[in-house]
Structure 1
Amino acid sequence: MAAEIKICGVTTPDALDATMSAGAHYVGFVFYPPSPRHLSAPLASDLARRSGDRIRRIGLFVGAGDALLSEAVPAGQLDGIQLHGSEPPARVAEVRARFGLPVWKALPVASSSDIAAAKAYDGAADLVLFDARTPKGALPGGMGLAFDWGLLANWRGRTPWGLAGGLTPANVAEAVRRTDAPLVDTSSGVESAPGVKDVDRIAAFCKAARQ
């Protein structure tokens, strides 16, 4: 079965239209001010109205409190919440219970112990997203870094999972072939500059991910 596709960090109508036209399953809205892909609630609302029921919308948050979540979830008409900070399993379960939406937990990976740590989220998260660990002080994602996909051979958790980190139109087909990832997620891999989505790269990524 082909991997599902998420294009994260979409901020413009053109990028949203390209994401939908290319057949992606999910679009990611980033609610994290330090990111070049950050969306305000009003802009998220505009993009949500534009997309309607044509694609599922996932909001990305980093260490967010309930106040931000309570503003962003209805503004973006979110279908799911992605927690990309250091949220423990208890916080993930709390967010899922409070907002009644599926919650994805992004986990930074640099070693096999990082893969094993994902088991702690069984029963708390609806999906774990394995992403590359970024340098200390850098943004937690969207840096174009990849990790050793071979580490995923040790994954034995019960929670559905996805693959992120350094995925591009040039390597996503190999990534799916090597890992059998049921979902792939890209952000910087389809950009011409940080936060600037390239519509041709979005199309190429989606095409390659399905091959």
Structure 2
Amino acid sequence: MSPTTQLKVCGMRDADNILQVAALCPAYMGFIFYEKSPRFVGEGFVLPAGFPAEIKKVGVFVNATAETMLATAARVGLNALQLHGHESVEVCRQVRAAGLEVIKVFSVGDDFDFTSTGPYREAADYFLFDTKGKLYGGNAQTFDWSVLRRYDQQVPFFLSGGLTPANVGAALALEGLNLYALDVNSGVETAPGQKDIGLIQELKKNSRL
């Protein structure tokens, strides 16, 4: 485990819950701007007053245009964009050129070909490896983390997909990986978009984050 491993809490929506989670000081907080997600923030979403400036605000998008994403980022005050669809390298470059961090997502199964990440190496700040499933994220299932040893570790990555207080220790026990952050969502929820503060505290304790 790296002593610099960060925590990202994703799928936030309710203003009071956002501030409750913010009080736990995750490095990143994610907000989903994909209408088909059960955690969609809705039209006209704004951050609640008092949101800590030191927490990086991540907008999660699926196959949106660079123009749409950048306009939303400017309106909401996002620091990073998480691209969860089939976005091109050029779209990633456009976003990054605008001064935002780019987190490019890849859905991983046992047969995932990690060479497919290569073209994005110079266009993304981070990769995010999530469980391959029917949905664009939020499948609440882990994948076989040992396959990450096949990755060349060139770009630091977020690990997502079914992380819970019970299994986070096993994720961090993997040696030799360029793991930058843990991305938690459904594994610390009481309902879609509603995070359980006790579960996040337990996860932080179990992972020493």
Q: What's the TM-score once normalised by structure 1's chain length? A: 0.88
Offset, 1:118: 1.7
Distance 1:123 1:66 in 2: 17
* C-alpha spacing 1:34/1:107, structure 2 compared with 1 (3 Å): same
Matched, 1:46 2:42: no
Offset, 1:67: 4.2
Question: 1:81·1:104 contact (CA, 8 Å) conserved in 2?
Answer: yes
Give the number of the structure whose residues are more often helix, by fraction.
1
Alignment of 1:48-87 (within 5 A): 49-87=49-87
Alignment of 1:164-183 (within 5 A): 164-178=160-174, 180=177, 181-183=179-181
Offset, 1:167: 0.5
Offset, 1:193: 2.1
Question: 1:56·1:78 contact (CA, 8 Å) conserved in 2?
Answer: yes
Q: What's the TM-score once normalised by structure 2's chain length? A: 0.89
Q: Which residue of 2 aligns with 1:153?
A: 149
Which ranges of structure 2 fall in alignment gaps of 5 or more residues?
none
Distance 1:22 1:95 in 2: 29
* C-alpha spacing 1:50/1:41, structure 2 compared with 1 (3 Å): farther
Moved more, 180-189 or 57-66: 180-189
Which 4+ residue blocks in structure 1 deviate beyond 3 angstroms? Answer: none
Distance 2:159 2:71 in 1: 28
Distance 1:76 1:168 in 2: 29
CA RMSD of aligned residues (A): 1.9
Distance 1:35 1:176 in 2: 28
Which ranges of structure 1 fall in alignment gaps of 5 or more residues?
none
Distance 1:89 1:112 in 2: 23
Q: Which residue of 1 aligns with 2:126?
A: 127
Give the one of 4, 11, 14 matched to 2:13.
11
> Percent of pairs identical after alignment?
34
The letter of the residue matching 1:190 is: V
Offset, 1:2: 4.0
Aligned residue pairs: how many? 205
